[in-house]
Structure 1
Amino acid sequence: MEGATPLNTRIAVVTGGSKGIGLEACKQLAGGGAITVVLTARDETRGAAAVEQIKRLGHAHVIFHQLDITDASSIARLADFLKTRFGKLDILVNNAATDGIEHVIDPVYGLTPGDEAFNGMDAGQRIDWMWTSCRQTYETAKQGLQTNYYGTKRVTEALLPLLRSSSDGRIVNVSSNFGLLSFFRSEELKQELNGVDRLTEERLDELLAEFLRDFESGGAEARGWPAEFSAYKVAKAAMNAYSRILARRHPELRVNCAHPGYVKTDITRNSGILTPEEGARNITSVALLPEGGPTGRYFSEGEEASFV
């Protein structure tokens, strides 16, 4: 019947799946065979339209479920749906994110410039353009942490029992090279965030609270936190650390972080080098690694790399 799930199929959830990297990841997973994809997004109209777009490609086993990763009741509704409908979850791709900044509108090209705006620019120049076209405020920094770290963490915790019900549960946290510890100026912060044998979730909470206090007082850079795109970098570094804590605690799961590359999306304001399809491939390749593969690792554009 319509919507029935084939036997022996894997169940995948992608957060932030209605556009950009998330949408392309849903397409790739749905086209991979024997996978039913649950595409989630905040906006029901956009999410339903994205599912129809994927179905028109011939991938029947994709369904939409509303999810706002900053809303506890929305997370709970998704968990209840998955438990009732499937009783397990095999793949969780935590893709939903925000940039943690306030955009300054380009007077020539608008909010999201076309490709012509970046002709002749290398990646560094494009990132410089992004930095000069934004403001960091305390409110956007706080929102950035709530979404990119705490939202992702709460989704993961809510779905952990279902992932543990799988014979081969996987979590891929969409990270960024902006989350590398090389952006931290304080050796003490670097060592603490990299020392996952000792680091706890409670200490991560304390560090994030310290960052927000330092940011609000104007002392974040002096304390050794990243200076540019601060909240985004701190949240992604915290998520990388949490992923490693989780991998150690749950050796039966595969928990990895994946940097998709510098992709043309809303977050990069179309300044990226790679297409969303190319970026998504760097995520789904990690989600579909062979059974018994690595866990607690960081992949940069499909290749295993250092968290530092």
Structure 2
Amino acid sequence: MSTILITGANRSLGYEAARRLIEAGHDVWIGARSVERGQEAAEALGARFVQLDVTDDASVAAAAETVGALDVLVNNAGIAGEFKPVAETTVDDVRPVFEVNVFAPLRVFQAFLPALERSANPVVVNVSSGMGSLARTTEPGTDENGFTNVHYSPSKAALNMLTSQLARSYPGIRINAADPGYTATDFNHHSGHQTVEEGTDVIVELAQIGPDGPTGELRDRHGVVPW
């Protein structure tokens, strides 16, 4: 059994991943900014709750103190931002997306690193997207090729590179990026063609890998996704 923290786990992919990992016998912490929604989710699932605003240093440090021992960190919290024409997208539109999707996973990783390094099988899963894959977004006919933006996709590409660099820097920790695929969630107004269970397949799989598992990869439910 592993002790697992999932950020932004009070709904959608985070909630379903927590449910499945609890069902598999793990001890799961629900991290959420909202105390009310986080506690409600934790009680419904039989998980533990920790208040966690991934954009706030003090909140993240307090969460690390509360959780204590940790084997698996799932950086799931993320935002899409407002999809609008590239010509109308400003730096002020881009900045908050990078704050949550790139800077926050690094902040949370660094805060929980001492706990992870004490684990016998430390694992990090950064929930990314095929929208951050240069290969997928430039390949005609893919889901990812159908959207053009200068905020969400660049943030996930940066998260992918962050994952790669952290994996190289900490070879004793299995650190991978997960691409859930185009999944029907609140995130996309339920327009995705995958179920939430299908979308969490790769998150659940990567959260349970052993010391001989992959590291430094972007993967979806079918296997490795090209950068």
After TM superposition, the score normalised by the length of structure 1 is 0.67
Between 153-162 and 266-275, the greater mean CA deviation after superposition: 266-275
For residue 4 of structure 2, what is the amino acid of its counterpart?
A
The residue number in structure 2 matching 1:151 is: 104
Name the SS of the counterpart of 2:125 in structure 1. strand
Matching residue of 1:161: 114
Q: How many residue pairs get matched?
A: 217
Alpha-carbon shift at residue 183 of structure 1 (Å): 6.9
- Is the CA contact (8 Å cut-off) linking 2:7 and 2:31 kept in structure 1? yes
State how 1:175-254 maps to structure 2 within 5 Å. Answer: 175-182=128-135, 228-254=148-174
The code of the aligned residue for 1:181 comes to: L
Letter in 2 for 1:180: S
Deviation, 1:136, is 3.3
Q: Is 1:281 aligned with 2:204? A: no
Distance 1:50 1:250, change over 3 A: same
Q: Where in structure 2 are there 5+ consecutive unaligned residues?
A: 139-146
Alignment of 1:98 with 2:79, yes or no, is: yes
* Distance in 1 separating the partners of 2:185 and 2:89: 20
Could you say what secondary structure the match of 2:151 adopts? helix
1:286 is displaced (CA, Å) by 1.4
1:44 maps to 2:31: no
Q: 2: CA distance between counterparts of 1:136 and 1:281?
A: 33
CA distance in structure 2 between the aligned counterparts of 1:283 and 1:75, rounded to whole angstroms: 22
Letter in 2 for 1:98: I
2:3 aligns with one of 8, 11, 30: 11
Aligned ranges for residues 16-27 of structure 1 at < 5 Å? 16-27=8-19
Q: Quick one: percent identity of the two aligned structures?
A: 35
Which structure would you say has the larger Rg?
A: 1
Deviation at 1:184, TM superposition (A): 7.8
Q: What are the residue-to-residue correspondences of 1:117-136 with 2, within 5 Å?
A: 136=89
Q: Which residue of 17, 27, 32 corresponds with 2:24?
A: 32
* Post-superposition CA distance 1:169-200 (Å, at most 9, x none): 00000010000123788xxxxxxxxxxxxxxx
Q: Partners in 1 of 2:218 and 2:209 — Cα distance?
A: 13
Query: Deviation of residue 280 (structure 1)?
Result: 1.3
Secondary structure of 1:101's match?
coil
Q: Is the 2:121–2:210 Cα contact (8 Å) retained in structure 1?
A: no
Shift of 1:10: 1.6
Aligned partner of 1:140 in structure 2 is 93
Partner of 1:171: 124
Give the SS at the match of 2:28: strand
Change (3 A) 1:38 1:241: same
Matched to 1:49, the amino acid is E
> How far off its partner does 1:258 sit?
0.8
Tell me if the contact between 2:130 and 2:225 (Cα under 8 Å) persists in the aligned partners.
no
RMSD of aligned Cα (Å): 1.8
CA distance in 2, matches of 1:101, 1:136: 9
Deviation at 1:242, TM superposition (A): 1.0
Query: What amino acid does structure 1 have at the position aligned with 2:71?
Result: D
Residues 169 and 254, structure 1, Cα contact 8 Å, conserved in 2: yes
The residue number in structure 2 matching 1:188 is: none
